């Protein structure tokens, strides 16, 4: 089955936008609706769109790594953020805050929840990718 | 004391490394641990015998009230002497026993040292739970040691049997110890013994503890693991299965008896089991042709003897028991090591093939005969002293004592007979049997055997050396007059019975052919009640039970699983709701009318889903239900939740499409009964869930937690989106757990699909018959 040209073109147009929107939700999540989980789902649906348009090959080209990699990296990042709290003498996963003055962006407030949320994001994206690769590939046969 | 335990651990860990440089001399290194213990015990002996026990306390897990309480009292001293003294000699023997460069030697030396440490801890613990920990450590190390030859099925089976039987007993004992500790209000052994609790619970606790002691000390009907454990290398048999580990049960009984022997079930239980064990062991021992198994059954018999003496709860019996504990440790390990030397020198342990060894190995013969005489109870050896004292203890009592005495006498006759059989079997010259070729054993192998064998003679000739120790233990009982261990008490009744025992034992040995015939006939009759077969039967019974219950509870049918879960929920939750709650009347049907519209749409979609014939239609309608719920979230003002719901619903749809391609396009038509049952169950679940939500919403007794989260989100979490702050900060640990589950599920599904792809030749051959939607995917059989 050849996917339609219209769908392929449309997906090409929105793919990056959806992906960026997912990342936006991830970073905005702490103060506005969003967060790692929702962001990950949005980014994941970008890949689902891509899969619908170009099949598994398109996914392989878009993410040329084993989908287990974001899965593991996300988990490691989330757990590592929790463990990093030990370095400051705090409890596991106890949150910390950091206020930075960067040259261009000005005052930036960062909490330790952000890397944790990035971990969640990566795990969710990894999950979607694994599903697309395995179940999707199964269905394509 | 703690330092000695640490020394054992350090050497146990060092052994596998040191073996590379030292080869089999590694045993000289690890022998330092028991030798140091022995020296230490000797320096403390005077204090302990004067009634000043050595104690040490180290905090272990303060939060749980666990401490490393160690205490060296007379009984402890006796056991430590045995464990470390025999241990040292066995370690030295090992250096000569194993071949140079034998595989697995480092592990063996390490585990043996670890065992030695565990056993030391066991006899020194002054805390019931600590005692249990060491108890199980000895079981585990024993399992590793029996299974040393891990390529032999026999030794693997023996190791497993020993482990299963002793840990089963250990777990039962743990229950008993916990009960005992909670009744006494303390886990400290010396405190429990000083002020023993009484009552029914204590009686139950004691029976449980005794089960543990019986399994560990190979009492009937748990005894078969001990003869089977002879698959272990001979030093292990000599150390664990003669001197040390099997004494643990006897030790526990000896420890508790002064305080608890008067509690109702104790005495009948201990005396019956002990006597039965003594007789069964002796009887079976006479039938063995493998020297090691002969000794093993002899050990079973002697353990029964010890159980009777140390559990009887009188000072005389306790004194005899303490002396026998030492005597048995000495003579039995001597004999085991002797078998090891014979095996080494001739390549066999079968007494039907050994002949004429006495002339070829005179020293070994002399030492082994000495030990066997001690076992049979011939003066002037230590074994005689203890048996004489045992007879004395039961000769002057009431009816019970007389029955026990008859049992002890019969057991001792059997003991004398199999002692003779051992010496004759190992060293005698048999007519019609060629002299066995021998290659001379090394001095390193012989020396420990000689030391152990001669020790029995020296201690027998100088009873003054053992007496203070034995008396100090017997002092734990109230008593009027003190009987001392002595070679000559005058012409007493006990002496007469001793002579009679030896004569009867000799007669049994001389008449060995008729005895053999009788035994063979008896075993044909009694074949059905073989405890070893009982063990096999209970194992296979357990397997069958597991299979049947698995077949019932894991039928592989999704509707059955789901139905069970839902029915349980309806019955439990619905039952609780029906009994104890009512719904108040301030219910609002909706906040805004539009909610009702959405709800109607959702309900309609749900009903349509259930009625759909094609799978794809059903999935789409289910999606509609999900989106409808998401709209409700939006209307309630939960954008995060609604967004998530929309996305999850979409992804689920996509996944469904993937899976649907593998399933038939339509549902299989069902029988009417099945359909009706499903409808009823579904309606019940819906009703119960609705009622539960209504009731739960009104059952609030504390102010909602949400206000606190709202207040704390910005100052503590640094974010104004409360939902996200809760997710990543306040309940971050939960989220970490959830994403772990996600990751594991993803990998699991991925590998299942890949595995399924590999084992299936092609898609078309997959049997997607009419039951496909009723069956959960089953693990692929390889």
In terms of average pLDDT, the best of B340-349, B514-523, B584-593, B719-728 is: B340-349
Residues of chain B positioned with their CB less than 8 A from the CB of A30: 718-721, 724-725, 728
Helix axes B74-97, B105-124, angle to 10 degrees: 170
Segment A78-115, tens digit of pLDDT? 888 888 878 777 777 676 666 666 666 666 666 778 88
Question: What pLDDT was estimated at residue B697?
Answer: 77
SS3 state of residue B136: helix
Q: Six-digit token pair at A32?
A: 């506005």
DSSP string, B668-715: PP--HHHHHHHHHHHHHHHHHHHHHHHHHHH---S--THHHHHHHIII
Question: What pLDDT was estimated at residue B125?
Answer: 94
SS3 state of residue B485: coil
pLDDT at B634 over 70: yes
Kindly state the helix (H) or strand (E) to which residue B449 belongs, with its residue range: helix B443-461
Percent share of chain A, pLDDT over 90: 28
A104 to chain B, closest Cα gap in Å: 22
Q: Alpha helix locations (H) across B475-590?
A: 493-510, 512-526, 531-553, 558-580
Segment B124-151, tens digit of pLDDT? 999 999 999 999 999 999 999 999 888 8
- Collect all residues with Cβ–Cβ distance below 8 Å to B330 and sequence separation of at least 6: B86, B371, B374, B382, B452, B453, B455, B456, B459
Place of tokens 């299936």: B760
- Which own/partner pairs from B757-763 qualify as long-range (CB within 8 Å, at least 24 positions apart)? B757/A138, B763/A141, B763/B662
CA distance B212 to B125: 17
Answer whether A34's CB lies under 8 Å from A90's CB: no
Answer whether B195's CB lies under 8 Å from B184's CB: yes
B725 to chain A, closest Cα gap in Å: 6
CA distance B672 to B675: 5
| A74 interface with B at CB cutoff 8 Å | yes
**Phi then psi for B127, rounded to 5 degrees?**
-135, 130
DSSP string, B569-635: HHHHHHHHHHHH----S---S-SSHHHHHHHHHHHHHHHHHHH-SBHHHHHHHHHHHHHHHHHHHHH
pLDDT at B660 over 80: yes
SS3 state of residue A102: strand
| A131 interface with B at CB cutoff 8 Å | yes
Among B133-137, B428-432, B717-721, the range scoring the smallest mean pLDDT is B717-721
Kindly state the helix (H) or strand (E) to which residue B317 belongs, with its residue range: helix B315-346
Question: What pLDDT was estimated at residue A89?
Answer: 72
- Mean per-residue pLDDT, B631-651: 89
Residues of chain A positioned with their CB less than 8 A from the CB of B623: none
CA distance B417 to B395: 22
Segment B282-292, tens digit of pLDDT? 999 998 889 99
CA distance B318 to B314: 6
User: Across the interface, which of A116, A127, A131 has its CB nearest the CB of B728?
Assistant: A116
pTM of structure:
0.72
**Phi then psi for B334, rounded to 5 degrees?**
-55, -50
CA distance B551 to B557: 11
CA A28 to chain centre: 14
Q: Six-digit token pair at B644?
A: 């998530």
- Is the model more confident about B530 or about B370? B370
pLDDT at B359 over 60: yes
Question: What pLDDT was estimated at residue B763?
Answer: 47
Q: What is the largest CA-CA distance in chain A?
A: 58
Question: What pLDDT was estimated at residue B765?
Answer: 42
DSSP string, B285-305: HTT--BHHHHHHHHHHHHHHH
Cβ of A138 within 8 Å of Cβ of B662? The answer is yes
Question: What pLDDT was estimated at residue A97?
Answer: 67
Cβ of B658 within 8 Å of Cβ of A139? The answer is yes
- Mean per-residue pLDDT, A40-47: 92
pLDDT at B521 over 50: yes
pLDDT at B778 over 60: no
Helix axes B74-97, B32-49, angle to 10 degrees: 160
- Mean per-residue pLDDT, B246-257: 94
**Phi then psi for B98, rounded to 5 degrees?**
-80, 150
The confidence band for B722, taking pLDDT boundaries of 50, 70 and 90, is confident
pLDDT at B418 over 70: yes
CA distance B207 to B205: 6
Interface test with B, best of A44, A45, A79, A93 (most B CBs within 10 A): A93
Among B189-193, B249-253, B530-534, B745-749, the range scoring the smallest mean pLDDT is B530-534
The confidence band for B559, taking pLDDT boundaries of 50, 70 and 90, is confident
| A134 interface with B at CB cutoff 8 Å | yes
Question: What pLDDT was estimated at residue B629?
Answer: 93
User: Across the interface, which of B728, B735, B746 has its CB nearest the CB of A127?
Assistant: B746
| A69 interface with B at CB cutoff 8 Å | no
- Mean per-residue pLDDT, B82-99: 92
Q: Six-digit token pair at B535?
A: 């063990």
CA distances from B189 to B202, B433, B525, B687 (A): 14, 56, 46, 57
Angle at B285 between CA B282 and CA B289, to 5 degrees: 165
Question: What pLDDT was estimated at residue A108?
Answer: 64
CA distance B717 to B78: 64
pLDDT at B768 over 70: no
Percent share of chain B, pLDDT over 90: 51
B328-351 burial: b if 16+ Cβ within 10 Å, else e: bbbbbbbbbbbbbbbbbbbeebeb
pLDDT at B777 over 60: no
| A34 interface with B at CB cutoff 8 Å | yes
Closest CA to A72 of A27, A115, A125, A25: A125
DSSP state of B64: G
| A107 interface with B at CB cutoff 8 Å | no
pLDDT at B520 over 50: yes
The confidence band for B766, taking pLDDT boundaries of 50, 70 and 90, is very low
Q: Looking at chain A, how many residues does it have? A: 141
pLDDT mean across residues, chain B: 88
| A82 interface with B at CB cutoff 8 Å | yes
| A116 interface with B at CB cutoff 8 Å | yes
Interface test with A, best of B719, B723, B749 (most A CBs within 10 A): B719
Residues of chain B positioned with their CB less than 8 A from the CB of A99: none
Cβ of A93 within 8 Å of Cβ of B733? The answer is yes
Question: What pLDDT was estimated at residue A99?
Answer: 63
pLDDT at B519 over 60: yes
Residues of chain A positioned with their CB less than 8 A from the CB of B663: none
Answer whether B301's CB lies under 8 Å from B278's CB: yes
Question: What pLDDT was estimated at residue B771?
Answer: 41
pLDDT at B713 over 80: no
CA distance B558 to B562: 6
Could you check whether the bond before residue A99 is cis, i.e. omega within 30 degrees of 0? no
Question: What pLDDT was estimated at residue B780?
Answer: 41
Backbone φ/ψ region at B718: left (φ over 0), alpha (ψ -120 to 50), beta: left
**Phi then psi for A67, rounded to 5 degrees?**
-65, -15
CA distance B92 to B81: 16
Domain locations along chain A = 5-140
CA B294 to chain centre: 26
Among A47-56, B277-286, B560-569, B667-676, the range scoring the smallest mean pLDDT is B667-676
């Amino acid at each position: 089955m050849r996917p339609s040209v219209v769908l392929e073109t449309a997906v090409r147009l929105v793919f990056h936008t959806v992906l960026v929107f997912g990342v936006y939700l991830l970073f905005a999540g702490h103060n506005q609706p969003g967060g790692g989980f929702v962001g990950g789902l949005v980014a994941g649906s970008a890949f689902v769109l891509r899969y619908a348009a170009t099949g598994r090959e398109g996914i392989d080209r878009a993410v040329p790594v084993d989908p287990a990699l974001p899965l593991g990296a996300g988990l490691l990042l989330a757990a590592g953020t929790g463990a990093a709290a030990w370095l400051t003498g705090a409890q596991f996963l106890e949150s910390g805050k950091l206020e930075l003055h960067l040259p261009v962006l000005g005052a930036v407030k960062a909490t330790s929840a952000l890397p944790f949320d990035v971990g969640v994001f990566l795990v969710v994206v990894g999950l979607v990718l694994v599903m697309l690769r395995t179940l999707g590939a199964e269905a394509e046969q | 004391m703690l330092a000695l335990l640490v020394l054992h651990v350090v050497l146990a860990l060092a052994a596998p490394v040191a073996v590379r440089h030292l080869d089999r001399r590694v045993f000289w290194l690890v022998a330092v641990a028991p030798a140091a213990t022995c020296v230490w015990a000797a320096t403390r002996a005077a204090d302990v015998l004067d009634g000043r026990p050595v104690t040490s306390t180290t905090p272990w897990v303060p939060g749980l009230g666990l401490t490393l309480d160690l205490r060296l009292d007379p009984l402890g001293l006796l056991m430590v002497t045995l464990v470390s003294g025999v241990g040292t000699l066995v370690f030295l023997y090992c250096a000569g026993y194993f071949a140079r460069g034998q595989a697995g030697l480092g592990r063996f030396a390490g585990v043996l040292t670890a065992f030695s440490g565990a056993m030391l801890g066991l006899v020194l613990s002054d805390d019931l739970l600590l005692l249990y920990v060491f108890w199980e450590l000895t079981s585990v190390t024993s399992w590793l040691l029996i299974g040393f030859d891990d390529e032999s099925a026999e030794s693997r089976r023996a190791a497993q049997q020993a482990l299963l039987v002793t840990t089963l007993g250990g777990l039962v004992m743990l229950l008993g110890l916990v009960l005992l500790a909670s009744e006494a209000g303390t886990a400290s052994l010396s405190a429990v013994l000083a002020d023993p609790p009484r009552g029914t619970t204590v009686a139950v606790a004691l029976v449980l503890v005794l089960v543990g002691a019986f399994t560990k000390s190979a009492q009937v009907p748990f005894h078969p693991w001990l003869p089977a454990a002879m698959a272990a290398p001979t030093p292990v048999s000599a150390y664990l299965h003669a001197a040390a580990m099997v004494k643990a049960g006897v030790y526990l009984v000896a420890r508790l008896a002064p305080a608890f022997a008067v509690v109702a079930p104790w005495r009948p239980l201990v005396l019956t089991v002990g006597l039965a064990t003594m007789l069964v062991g002796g009887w079976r021992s006479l039938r063995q042709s493998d020297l090691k198994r002969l000794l093993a059954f002899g050990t079973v018999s002697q353990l029964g003897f010890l159980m009777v003496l140390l559990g009887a709860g009188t000072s005389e019996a306790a004194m005899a028991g303490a002396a026998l504990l030492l005597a048995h440790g000495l003579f039995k390990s001597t004999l085991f090591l002797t078998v090891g030397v014979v095996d080494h020198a001739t390549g066999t342990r079968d007494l039907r093939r050994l002949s004429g060894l006495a002339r070829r190995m005179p020293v070994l013969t002399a030492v082994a005969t000495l030990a066997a005489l001690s076992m049979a109870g011939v003066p002037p050896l230590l074994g005689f002293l203890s048996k004489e004292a045992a007879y004395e203890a039961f000769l002057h009592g009431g009816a019970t004592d007389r029955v026990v005495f008859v049992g002890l006498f019969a057991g001792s006759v059997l003991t004398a007979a199999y002692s003779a059989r051992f010496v004759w079997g190992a060293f005698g010259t048999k007519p019609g049997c060629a002299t066995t070729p021998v290659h001379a054993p090394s001095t390193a192998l012989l020396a420990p055997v000689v030391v152990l064998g001669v020790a029995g003679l020296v201690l027998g000739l100088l009873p003054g050396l053992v007496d203070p120790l034995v008396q100090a233990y017997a002092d734990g009982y109230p008593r009027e007059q003190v009987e001392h261990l002595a070679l000559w008490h005058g012409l007493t009744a006990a002496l007469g019975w001793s002579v009679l025992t030896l004569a009867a034992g000799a007669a049994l040995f001389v008449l060995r052919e008729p005895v053999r015939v009788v035994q063979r006939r008896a075993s044909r009759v009694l074949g059905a009640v073989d405890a070893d077969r009982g063990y096999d039967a209970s194992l296979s019974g357990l397997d069958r039970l597991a299979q049947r219950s698995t077949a019932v509870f894991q039928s592989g049918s999704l509707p059955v699983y789901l139905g069970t879960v839902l029915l349980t929920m309806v019955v439990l939750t619905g039952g609780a709701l029906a009994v104890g709650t009512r719904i108040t009347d301030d219910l609002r049907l909706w906040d805004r009318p539009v909610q009702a519209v959405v709800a109607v749409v959702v309900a309609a979609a749900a009903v349509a889903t259930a009625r759909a014939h094609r799978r794809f239609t059903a999935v789409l309608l289910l999606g509609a239900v999900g989106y409808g719920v998401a709209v409700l979230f939006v209307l309630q003002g939960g954008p995060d939740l609604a967004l998530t719901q929309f996305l999850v619903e979409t992804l689920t749809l996509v996944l469904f499409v993937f899976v649907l391609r593998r399933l038939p396009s339509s549902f299989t038509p069902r029988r009417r009964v099945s359909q009706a049952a499903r409808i009823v169950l579904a309606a019940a679940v819906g009703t119960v869930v609705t009622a539960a939500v209504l009731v739960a919403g009104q059952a609030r007794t504390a102010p909602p937690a949400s206000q606190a989260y709202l207040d704390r989100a910005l100052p503590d979490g640094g974010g104004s989106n409360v939902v996200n702050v809760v997710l990543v900060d306040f309940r971050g640990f939960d989220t970490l757990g959830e994403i772990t589950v996600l990751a594991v599920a993803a990998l699991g599904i991925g590998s299942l699909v890949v595995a399924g792809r590999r084992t299936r030749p092609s898609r078309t051959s997959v049997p997607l018959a009419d039951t496909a939607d009723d069956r959960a995917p089953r693990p692929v059989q390889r």
